[in-house]
Chain A
Amino acid sequence: MSAATSTPSGSATAGRTLPLSEGSLLQRLLRGAITPGGAVFILLAVLFVAVVWVNPSFGEPPQLIRFIGRTAPIAIAAMGQYYVIVSGEFDLSMGAVIATQVVIAGNYIGQDESRVLPALALMLLIGAAVGVVNGLATTLLRVPSFIVTLGTMLALGGLVRYLTGGAATGNPVDSFRQIGRGGIEDVPVLDVLPYPVIILAVVAVASVLLMRSPFGRTLIAAGDNPDAAGLAGAHVWWVKTRAFMLSSLSATVAGILLVGYAGVHPSVGSGYEFQAITAVVLGGVVLGGGRGWVLSAAAGAFALELLFSFLNFQEVESTWRPTVQGLIIILAVAAGARAWSYGRRPSRTAESAPPAAPAASPTPARPGTETGEN
């Protein structure tokens, strides 16, 4: 955990500071490292050392920056998924959105250079629209987001394949693909600075700023306890809908990068929703909402990719990969579940109700649909 998260929750604890925001920066860092959101950075460091140990050339700056570049799409997707998860929801439609954007890029742009900008606008528009649909169906129609986004995943995936006959016409012009494939050449030390790294950095900074803004605080509050957030005057439905839009837009950006990195293919993006959720969870973000740091989600994505690279370098039979992945997720989350409670232990009076049990708040009779006994 870090200041980014502790600030909003601190402000919510009415006049009490959480221990994480007390003390010097170093103390805070140390304390932060034992929370799941911080522990992922330690995991990241350990994995990095392991990979470099197995394959020393991986540590060279040009190699490393390329690795960061190719991990950018999943890291950006993970940050998008973070908004949704921290607000207490799920977005399973991410992979379908990526596939849709990739196919649009291939079929709409084609070899026509002049269509690059309209295509970008169109893709962002579609991304936002999917987010709005997911968000409104979740908040206003009150369908669980797991189901809404499962529906969007099926519907969008089916529709795109139906309209395109299952395969894209071909790759779009190279200038469009440069976004995900190219970079600034002749950079000292790095050799080349891939555009995806720059985009990732911009997205990361924007995310941190966003999470420190009133929107970010409301988002976490809405995930922590929507009833309380609603009472405090937040428009929970609109906050959550914006989270879904951010998620779909992140998927769109990931899709644009993947068009460049991998090319146009309907299977690009498949499984990204679970990868992104896994990354977010590895980053110590709690499913159900209310806790976690946005950069930890990105770090979770890097940890996951490093793990895969490590397995590749170790020549672990690729059929065992899911098993290792499964064990790591479980261990990380089990450890996380402990660490969150340790991190929170001192604040006994502020200790509290998880959103699942939204607490006997001043509106006593609010056993909403989620906890309802009948």
Chain B
Amino acid sequence: MRRQIHRAPIAVATALLLGVFATACSTEDPTDGGTGSDETTESSESPDASESPTEEVEWFDQAVYDEQFDQRSATFEGDSETPYLQYIDGEMTDTSEFKSDGAKKACFANASISNPWRQTGWITMNQQLKALQDDGVISEMETRDAGDDDNTQIADIDYFISEGNCDAFIISPNSTAAMTDAVERACETGKPVVVFDRGVQTDCATSFIHPIGGFAWGIDTAEFLIDNLEEGDKVVALRILPGVDVLEQRWAGAEKLFEENGIEAVDYFTGADPTEIKKIVTDELAKGDVQGIWMDAGDGAVAAIEAFEDAGADYPVMTGEDEMTFLRKWEETGLTGLAPVYSNFQWRTPLLALEKIFAGEEVPKEWVLPQTPITEDERADFLEANDGMPDGHYAKFGGEDLPGYPEVWQERQIP
């Protein structure tokens, strides 16, 4: 048949094209030294947007690393009983222009509630809202959820600006660089803008609220593993996904310390899927001994531990997160571990910041919240305090004094 005669050369041609396609892409690399935006803030969250996409994208930033290294031992202003109101002394924003009476309407552009950390925070935030509504500070909070999509979140912010009748904006950006223009547009309305969690590349916001940051996480966890392991030991690093600055900085900080201290570390992306995590750890154990597990977020930690159990291997030294599932398994197994914390109670702070802003009290321009890991000694207290909470709950959620505690968190009522 005519067609069959032609088949072989066509197959070759297509294979070639596939190859050409691959090489065409890779040769783009050296020419792509984009400049990015000039307005990088001092924010710990902002990655250097001007990197060229080489194999080794450099997330490591010595200055930010050093800053966060120091902040771990900094003195926090305010009562340690209310960590969500503590901050490191620094530049303050004068808010006297916003001082006004009466209940105000807040508009919240949320990135998503697609993981347990965000869900827990979102529940806490809503209970904080109820408390402030009872106090007559906030009349209502209109929320738009972007479902992890930059484009949707930009539209959400624009919608609030034109249709929301908002007195103030709260924005939890889905990504750092992409959301910058939209946040600036919100700032241009002249109303208070509070940004929290991930940052943006503008300092126009009234306050930018976040825990110390990813490098601090990386330092805390890597130091713990280095202290408890020998030189030459192997650590498997389980990471959720590439390209998110808060997560990349955790690994960038840890990787640097592992290298400096002779720890052999291999990293994998797992998508936080326990099935994937268990397979990866099982394969690593089949290859050779693994002494340590490092995670950039504790979601799915139990699967990693169970991989050791099923393979009959000794428990690793491990860092997880303050998610209940890890704390419980940690206690049950008695392994040597640490629960780093990306302070979930920060979800309370934006609304409390608005309370201060409308009262005319000054707020930190960059509101750095404490971020202290849970050690083995403190573990029992947190387990007791969070008894009855679901596995996806975060120990340092900081909502014990809010209305609805503990049922709302136990039943995980998402509005």
Contacts and interface: CB of A to CB of B under 8 A. Distances in A.
Asked if A and B touch directly (CB within 8 angstroms), the answer is yes
B309 to A, nearest CB: 9
A63 B310 CA distance: 11
A70 B279 contact: yes
A181 interface: yes
Q: Dominant SS at the A interface?
A: helix
B306 interface: yes
Interface string B277-321: 111101110110000000000011011001000110000000000
A319 B269 contact: yes
B413 A267 contact: no
A193 B242 CA distance: 37
Contacts of B306: 181, 263
A342 to B, nearest CB: 9
A170 interface: yes
A228 B141 CA distance: 60
B303 A168 contact: no
Given A55-B287, A165-B119, A270 B282 contact: no
B94 interface: no
Given A58-B286, A167-B116, A263 B274 contact: yes
Interface in A55-84: 55, 57-58, 63, 66, 70, 73
A270 B273 contact: yes
A164 interface: yes
B391 A169 contact: yes
Sort chain B's interface into a size bin: 35 or more
A264 interface: yes
Given A66-B282, A165-B413, A327-B18, A170 B390 contact: yes
B414 A166 contact: yes
Nearest to B303: A262
B286 A57 contact: yes
Given A167-B390, A168-B390, A261 B116 contact: no
A260 to B, nearest CB: 10
A318 B271 contact: no
A321 to B, nearest CB: 9
A130 interface: no
A318 B268 contact: yes
A309 to B, nearest CB: 6
B50 interface: no
Nearest to B55: A317
B274 A265 contact: yes
Contacts of A265: 272-274, 299-300, 303
A309 B7 CA distance: 33
B302 A263 contact: yes
A258 interface: yes
A171 B275 contact: no
A319 B242 contact: yes
B391 A167 contact: yes
7 contacts: A164-B412, A166-B116, A166-B119, A169-B390, A170-B325, A171-B391, A334-B11
Given A268-B274, A338-B7, 4 more contacts: A66-B311, A70-B278, A168-B391, A262-B275
Interface of B: 7, 11, 14, 18, 113-116, 119, 123, 242, 266-269, 271-275, 277-280, 282-284, 286-287, 299-300, 302-303, 306, 310-311, 325, 328, 390-393, 411-414
Nearest first, the 10 A-B pairs at minimum CB distance are A167-B392, A165-B412, A262-B274, A170-B391, A262-B275, A312-B283, A166-B119, A169-B390, A165-B414, A167-B116
Interface of A: 55, 57-58, 63, 66, 70, 73, 162, 164-171, 181, 258, 261-265, 267-271, 308-309, 312-313, 315, 318-319, 327, 330, 334, 338
